[in-house]
Amino acid sequence: MRKRPLIIAGRQDGTTVRMGTVFEKGRRMDTAALRATTGDVGAHLSEMTVGDMSIPAAATNGDLGDLFVAAVDRNARLTALLTGDELTSPRAAPIDRASFPLVADQYGGGFDHRYRRSAGLMVAAFAGVLDTHRVVDLDGTHTTAGALYEHAVRDAFLLTWNIATAIDIRYQPRPDIVRGVIQTMLSHIEDADLATAVDVLVQLSGPHRDK
């Protein structure tokens, strides 16, 4: 087993922050589910306007704008963690609510363009992982690349579900992804919102209406 230090962030004074140590052994990561769920997020974001970002999000205390900002930030942080890139790099530029009007018109791509860019980097970072059992020291907590991946799929799935519920459009993901997400939520009870899990199952098993 090979051990190497992981540097994931840089300070403005030029020094770096050593966030943890990585251990590698085993098999390469399969990113098909993450590509599918982040693609669903992008497709639903393409339907959104600046005004939609103020719509309250189901099962949270915030709105869709809060979820969007958090998702882009989370994608950037996971990318930095897995690749060693600095969080301050242009490719991982943060986003805030004040920039929503600009983001909505960016290259004519809208919010989905900004999300897809961050998600694409994250998916590529996971694809570069040679071992699902690679252990990462994340702010003092040991977890595996595989566990981070499962949570990334879950987060993208729930973001799409929140968007679809809030703006009343159809969301019907692949059954295998639904099963995987629910299993992830139930296997991490301390992190799981069981009410959301049940609601998702009920909605996905019922009739759907196309807009």
User: Where in the chain are the domains?
Assistant: 2-10+18-205
In sequence order, the 6+-apart residues with CB closer than 8 A to the CB of 180 are 33, 150, 153
Note the pLDDT of residue 61: 82
| Digit-coded pLDDT (tens) for 20-70 | 334 345 567 889 999 999 999 999 998 888 889 999 988 778 899 999 999
The HSE-up count of residue 8 (CA atoms within 13 Å, CB side) is 19
Which tokens in the block code for residue 155?
Answer: 């987060």
Q: In angstroms, rounded to a whole number, what is the distance separating the alpha carbons of residues 122 and 79?
A: 5
DSSP states of the chain: -EEEEEEEEE-TTS-EEEEEEEEE-S-PPP-HHHHHHHHHHHHHHTT--TGGGGSBPTTSSSBHHHHHHHHHHHHHHHHHHHH---TTSGGG----GGGHHHHHTGGGTHHHHHHHHHHHHHHHHHHT-S-TT-EEEETTEEEEHHHHHHHHHHHHHHHHHHHHHHHT------HHHHHHHHHHHHH-TTT--HHHHHHHHHHHHS-----
Note the pLDDT of residue 130: 87
Note the pLDDT of residue 156: 96
Note the pLDDT of residue 29: 82
Note the pLDDT of residue 142: 85
Note the pLDDT of residue 21: 35
Note the pLDDT of residue 188: 63
Nearest one of 74, 63, 75 to 100, comparing CA atoms: 63
Phi, psi of 134 (to 5 degrees): -60, 125
| Digit-coded pLDDT (tens) for 143-187 | 899 999 999 999 999 999 999 999 998 888 888 888 888 888 777
Q: In angstroms, rounded to a whole number, what is the distance separating the alpha carbons of residues 105 and 117?
A: 15
Residue 210 pLDDT grade (very low, low, confident, very high; cuts 50, 70, 90): very low
The better pLDDT of the pair 201, 114 is held by 114
- For the chain, the average pLDDT equals 76
Q: Which numeric CATH code is attached to 2-10+18-205?
A: 1.20.120
Note the pLDDT of residue 106: 56
Is the pLDDT score of 15 beyond 90? no
pTM of the shown model: 0.73
Which tokens in the block code for residue 153?
Answer: 């799929």
Residue 203 pLDDT grade (very low, low, confident, very high; cuts 50, 70, 90): low
What is the average pLDDT across 98-109?
64
Note the pLDDT of residue 31: 94
